[in-house]
Amino acid sequence: MNLGAINLKVGRKTQLINSSGTFVDGNVTEADCTSFVNDRYRQLYIKFANKFPEYGQYNEPLDLEEDTAFYAFSGLTEDMLVLNYVGIKYSSTDENYTTVKRREGNLLFKNNTDTTRFDKSHPYFKFTKDTTDGFGITIMPTPDADVTSGLYVEYVILPDELSGVGDVPNLPDGLQDVLVAYVIADVWETKRDWSNSNQALNRAKDLDKEFFDNYKPKSSLEPVKYGIGKSFNPFNR
């Protein structure tokens, strides 16, 4: 279902359009409707991605740099929403990536701040904000050699906003129906029709729960277990 079809569905249900499909309600315009769609799209996408992290996932290798522990998210190809996996090759001769486990700074440095005590066979990362490059991760122990594609990350990407009438939300069909139901509630609320707004919102919540209670990923979307054991090769899964 594309953006044009979504807006028409919402418009018909909420008396925003005439028989020709033209928006005629001056209080809620087509642009307003599109804004509601994108708001709900982001919310549902994040909820879906949290439950099925393999959906919308992107993976890419990054080059390791000698004596460089911090790697900014701004260096990734796509806008990251959720980081699912980090693997590292400290040497160009390593066949597999060693899983880098996440730890909070207060746990990593609970007893002391000596970074040389970390072992390459059990690397860790923590989220860090750099004053120059923004958010990213700090790897411990620090790489001691340049390694092409030495860092491997898998992450869920942030979806692009819908703008053209032909744009389609990156959601399963059933969840697109949930999106429409929520937008209908948003429109009624904007029109201050509290009775219809409450009724539409309850219906949207019911559809939402029904979808997540019953949805089964397609075989191509079956969850992947990340970081089994100490190392793995992402290209042999």
pLDDT tens-digit map of 35-52? 999 999 999 998 898 888
Find the angle CA(226)-CA(227)-CA(231) to the nearest 5 degrees: 145
pLDDT at 4: 95
Q: Hunting for tokens 């990923």 — which residue is that? A: 217
pLDDT at 49: 84
**Residue numbers in the chain where pLDDT is lower than 70:** 109-116, 218-237
**134 alpha carbon, distance to own chain's centre:** 19
pLDDT at 99: 94
The pTM (predicted TM-score) of the whole model is 0.68
Rounded Cα distance, 1 and 3, in Å: 7
Give the type of residue at 113: T
pLDDT at 40: 96
**Dihedral sign (CA 112, 151, 79, 134):** positive
Closest CA to 177 of 37, 49, 34: 37
